[in-house]
Chain A
Amino acid sequence: MTRRPRSNRTFLLVGVLVALLLAGVVSYYASSRPDGLEKVAADKGLDRGEEEHDLADSPLADYQTDEVGNERLSGGLAGVIGVSATLLLGTGVFWVVRRLPRSQGPRTGPADPGRG
């Protein structure tokens, strides 16, 4: 197979920019109607036992940033923070997964330390 000369960097960069744009700008135009589960829960009474979220006072609760009055900015900032945080955690997790020793590799390691 021919090796592709193109690096992934451009692709990843464009991907991150698209995600930031969607969460930071386009999200303002998202529907604010209740989602499928919220609607069913409210209509049929599944939510009678609903408890407030333990972190309902968190500075980013409900995708709004505390202390930011402008709704567009507040939501956009929350989106940008969310995309960045997810990218960091995700990249970190997959970086670690990639480097975990492969216990079930087709071959054993080059040298078996000790133990005859």
Chain B
Amino acid sequence: MHVPDGFIDAPVSVAAGAVAVAGVALSLRGARRELDERTAPLAGLVASFIFAVQMLNFPVASGTSGHLLGGALAAILVGPYTGVLCLSVVLLMQGLLFADGGLTALGVNITDMAIVGVPVAYGVFRLLITVLPANRRSFTVAAFTAALVSVPTAAGAFTLLYALGGVTDVPLGTVAASMIGVHLLIGIGEGVITALTVGSVLAVRPDLVYGAERLRVPLQLRTTPATGGGR
């Protein structure tokens, strides 16, 4: 879903760029709370893994393919703020090194896939984890659904930006229907890849999965008063 240059006009591209900068700045603050000495290296791995899997287009309906966006994957593995940063790093690399996603459209792409896609994915995941019983199957279902929903949502965000600043004048209903329709199909692939990946990490290192704390042995909250108050 990498938007090239010349799809969205300059003012809306600039505005999306401002949204992207603000979102990344907010995420830089938020990520400090999500990352510790163990998970910070994992976040770098998650970014490079998403880059790799984004290269693996899988066929969907008639003459179309899709690939992982990775918003749900990143949010569940390393947390939503860190996830936004992971996707932004990937999109920056793709635009700068591989001419994938226009440079003037970088803000549009970060906004659609990272700023919108990641929190939506994480919200759906959190919601399902809360209402479903706390077990591995619920975790898989939540991961799949979060990933599935995030892709057409990102497509919807693109449609919204197109409505505001599309260079061409294709009827909005047509853009919305075809974008969301095809990305619903791609979302199924996104869901499968995400569920498989987070499931694999959960199987070997559940302690590294940000979104899995409910599956772990609960930490004991000690309420004994701190003695000395940190020297």
Residues of A within 8 A of B (CB): 1, 4, 6, 8, 11-12, 15-16, 18-20, 22-23, 26-27, 30-37, 39-41, 43-56, 58, 60-63, 78-79, 81-87, 89-95, 97-98, 100, 102, 107, 110
**CB pair B48 A19 closer than 8 Å:** yes
Contact of B47 (CB < 8 Å), options: A31, A79, A86: A86
**CB pair A86 B100 closer than 8 Å:** no
B7 contacts across to A, CB distance below 8 A: 41, 46-47, 49-50
Contact of A102 (CB < 8 Å), options: B2, B32, B208: B32
B44 contacts across to A, CB distance below 8 A: 87, 90-94
Interface locus among B14-22, B51-59, B130-138? B51-59
Closest residue of chain B to A89 (Cβ to Cβ) is B89
Say whether, besides A26-B56, A83-B48, A93-B85, A36 and B66 are in contact (CB < 8 Å): yes
**CB pair A22 B35 closer than 8 Å:** no
* B153 contacts chain A at the CB level, 8 A cutoff: no
Closest residue of chain A to B187 (Cβ to Cβ) is A36
A107 contacts across to B, CB distance below 8 A: 230
Known contacts A34-B63, A44-B175, A54-B5; 16 additional CB pairs below 8 A are A22-B55, A30-B56, A36-B65, A36-B182, A37-B158, A40-B175, A47-B168, A49-B6, A50-B5, A53-B100, A55-B99, A63-B55, A63-B98, A82-B98, A97-B40, A102-B32
Residues of B within 8 A of A (CB): 1-7, 28, 31-32, 35-38, 40-53, 55-60, 63-67, 82, 85-86, 89-90, 92-100, 102-103, 155, 158, 162, 166-168, 170, 174-175, 178-179, 182-183, 185-186, 204-205, 207-208, 217, 219-220, 230-231
**CB pair A89 B38 closer than 8 Å:** no
- Would you mind naming 10 contact pairs between A and B with Cβ atoms under 8 Å apart? A16-B48, A18-B49, A37-B158, A40-B178, A41-B7, A53-B5, A56-B99, A90-B89, A94-B41, A95-B40
**CB pair A12 B99 closer than 8 Å:** no
**CB pair A61 B51 closer than 8 Å:** no
Closest 7 CB pairs of A and B: A91-B44, A90-B47, A49-B167, A51-B6, A23-B52, A90-B44, A87-B48
What separation, in Å, do the CA atoms of A92 and B31 have in the docked complex? 14
B64 contacts across to A, CB distance below 8 A: 33-36, 39
Q: How far is the CB of B197 from chain A (nearest CB, A)?
A: 10
**CB pair A30 B55 closer than 8 Å:** yes
What separation, in Å, do the CA atoms of A1 and B64 have in the docked complex? 49
Say whether, besides A31-B57, A87-B44, A58 and B97 are in contact (CB < 8 Å): yes
What separation, in Å, do the CA atoms of A90 and B35 have in the docked complex? 13
B52 contacts across to A, CB distance below 8 A: 18-20, 22-23, 27, 79, 82-83
A61 contacts across to B, CB distance below 8 A: 98-99
